[in-house]
């Protein structure tokens, strides 16, 4: 009896094929993933790679939003305190502008106004994570420092730069407003007006005090407007974070749909692979030894 020697190649190929199918089914069930290599499903692999890249961007935007939100909220809270101090200065200044006050009473008001000035300067130099909130893009210089040559007694040491942080595709938000626009703006000079009010009340200059009060009111309006900018930015960031959170959930679901194995189908594939593999091994055990002997010793 002569058996085609190519039969052994055919059986070996079949065993190799069923073995690979069996290994794949076991791997999918153990990992829970339908894709081990891109060749398993090129379309799903490509779509999953794109989804993962998008998830990476979403994570980066979320981290940026988290970081900048704290800074913006701190700035808003700081300006809220400035508003309170300027409101207090207006009350004190109105009292001090009364021409009937004696020198002792005026001196007491001046002391309180000086305290307001110091507090406003301190607020203007507020730091967040080691950086001054109102020094522009400068990370080391204090926003305002004492300066005897300045009419206000202080000078701005920051710059006019504004940082921008990306929190979405094509979406960036400003993280700061330079301090000179807030505290020494020509439309509302808080430090200059406070300095003038202190001098006017101290000297009993009612007219000068009234003029300085007008300047403080204008400064109060400017600070309030800038505070509204920070509040608006915080609202925008909060809205974007909500969107990013939903986007992250959606992308995660998409990735699972692309790569997660269908357990029922995988079990069926495993059963079929086991059956086919076992059958081939059984056939090989019977066929290959006989075929080989017959091939070597033909009669």
Query: Any idea which of 22-36, 50-64, 139-153 has the lowest mean pLDDT?
Result: 22-36
Average pLDDT, the chain: 82
pLDDT (tens digit, 9 = 90+) per residue, 196-229? 999 999 999 999 999 999 999 999 999 999 999 9
Q: What is the pLDDT of residue 101?
A: 84
Q: What is the pLDDT of residue 265?
A: 59
Question: pLDDT tier at 252 (50, 70, 90 boundaries)?
Answer: confident
Picking from 153, 145, 146, the residue whose alpha carbon sits closest to that of residue 199 is: 153
Determine the distance from the C-alpha atom of residue 133 to the mean position of all C-alpha atoms in its chain, rounded to a whole number.
Answer: 18
Mean pLDDT of 221-238: 95
- By CB atoms closer than 10 A (0-12, 13-18, 19+), residue 39 is exposed
Q: What is the pLDDT of residue 75?
A: 96
Q: What is the pLDDT of residue 109?
A: 95
Q: How do strand 127-128 and strand 131-132 relate by DSSP bridges?
A: antiparallel
The string over 89-124, giving b where at least 16 C-beta atoms fall within 10 Å of a residue's C-beta and e elsewhere, is bbebbebbbeeebeeeebeebbebbeebbebbbebb
Top pLDDT among 234 and 265 is at: 234
Q: What is the pLDDT of residue 141?
A: 77
Question: pLDDT tier at 61 (50, 70, 90 boundaries)?
Answer: very high
Residue 116 reports pLDDT greater than 50: yes
Question: pLDDT tier at 99 (50, 70, 90 boundaries)?
Answer: confident
Residue 13 reports pLDDT greater than 70: no
Distance CA 210, CA 98 (A): 10
Query: Any idea which of 152-156, 198-202, 286-290 has the lowest mean pLDDT?
Result: 286-290
Mean pLDDT of 162-171: 94
pTM tops 0.75: no
Percentage of the chain exceeding pLDDT 90: 55
CB 182, CB 160: distance < 8 Å: no
Domains within the chain, CATH numbers bracketed: 6-50+261-296 (no CATH), 71-254 (1.20.1330.10)
Q: What is the pLDDT of residue 72?
A: 95
Distance CA 198, CA 96 (A): 9
Question: pLDDT tier at 85 (50, 70, 90 boundaries)?
Answer: very high
Question: pLDDT tier at 280 (50, 70, 90 boundaries)?
Answer: low
């Amino acid at each position: 009896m002569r058996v085609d020697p190519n039969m052994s190649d055919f059986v070996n190929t079949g065993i190799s094929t069923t073995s690979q199918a069996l290994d794949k089914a076991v791997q999918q069930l153990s990992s829970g993933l339908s894709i081990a290599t891109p060749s398993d499903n090129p379309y799903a692999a490509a779509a999953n790679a794109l989804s993962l890249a998008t998830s990476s961007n979403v994570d980066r935007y979320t981290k940026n939003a988290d970081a900048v939100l704290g800074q913006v909220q701190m700035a808003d809270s700081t300006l809220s305190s400035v508003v309170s101090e300027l409101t207090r200065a207006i009350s004190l200044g109105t009292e001090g502008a009364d021409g009937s006050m004696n020198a002792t009473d005026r001196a007491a008001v001046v002391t309180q106004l000086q305290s307001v000035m110091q507090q406003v300067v301190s607020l203007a130099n507020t730091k967040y994570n080691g950086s001054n909130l109102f020094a522009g893009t400068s990370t080391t210089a204090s926003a305002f420092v004492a300066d005897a040559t300045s009419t206000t007694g202080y000078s701005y040491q920051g710059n006019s730069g504004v940082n921008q942080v990306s929190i979405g595709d094509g979406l960036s938000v400003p993280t700061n407003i330079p301090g000179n626009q807030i505290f020494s703006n020509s439309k509302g000079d808080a430090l200059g007006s406070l300095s003038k009010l202190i001098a006017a009340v101290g000297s009993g200059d009612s007219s000068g005090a009234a003029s300085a009060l007008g300047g403080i009111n204008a400064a109060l309006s400017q600070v309030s407007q800038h505070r509204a900018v920070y509040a608006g930015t915080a609202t925008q960031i909060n809205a974007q974070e909500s969107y990013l959170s939903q986007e992250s959930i959606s992308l995660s679901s998409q990735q699972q749909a692309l790569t997660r194995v269908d357990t029922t189908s995988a079990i069926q594939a495993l059963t079929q692979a086991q059956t086919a593999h076992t059958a081939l091994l059984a056939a090989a055990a019977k066929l290959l030894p006989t075929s080989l002997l017959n091939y070597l010793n033909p009669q």
